[in-house]
Amino acid sequence: MNGKTALKPKHQRLLLALLALAALIVAGLLAARALSEEASFFYTPSTLVKEKPAPGKAIRIGGMVKKGSIQRDADGVTVRFTVQDKDASLAVRYTGITPDLFVEGSGVVADGRLLSDGTFMADSLLAKHDENYVPRELADTDMNAAQHSQDSLVQ
């Protein structure tokens, strides 16, 4: 005998299975971490005030477009407006074509990033899809401010 002990085939299979299981667990943990860093959480203006996410972090906000807050820049594609809920409001800037249902007093959800000056830079906008739709988080918001406006934004 040369002093080396070879593993029996049964033990080799067990060791291989344990290594494969460990590799799967590590891969799953890495995937979960990557997904959690890229997740886009839904915030209302009130929860933004409380939780204060880091500037530049991808987030999703939602609320009602404040009446009288929509301003269009001279370039024709940049829109500035205020999103509000019952307790707070947030200035938003978006460059692009707005959805047809995007009007003052309607619900909106925006994906983007919070800038260091407190303004939200939206990458995409989703307007509410139905006159009766109110997000669950905004169910107790004053709905007089949420009535669908029939006014045209183009004059």
Q: What is the mean pLDDT of residues 35-43?
A: 67
Residues 33 and 47 in one domain: no
Residues 68 and 113 in one domain: yes
| Distances 95 to 27, 74, 114, 119, 151 between C-alpha atoms, Å | 38, 12, 15, 14, 22
pTM: 0.58
What total of structural domains would you count in the chain? 2
Q: Per the domain annotation, does 2 fall within a domain?
A: no
Residue 51 pLDDT > 60: yes
- The region, left, alpha or beta by phi > 0 then psi within -120 to 50, assigned to residue 2 is alpha
d(Cα 60, Cα 32) in Å, to the nearest integer?
Answer: 20
Q: What range defines the domain where residue 17 resides?
A: 9-39
Residues 58 and 85 in one domain: yes
Residue 2 pLDDT > 70: no
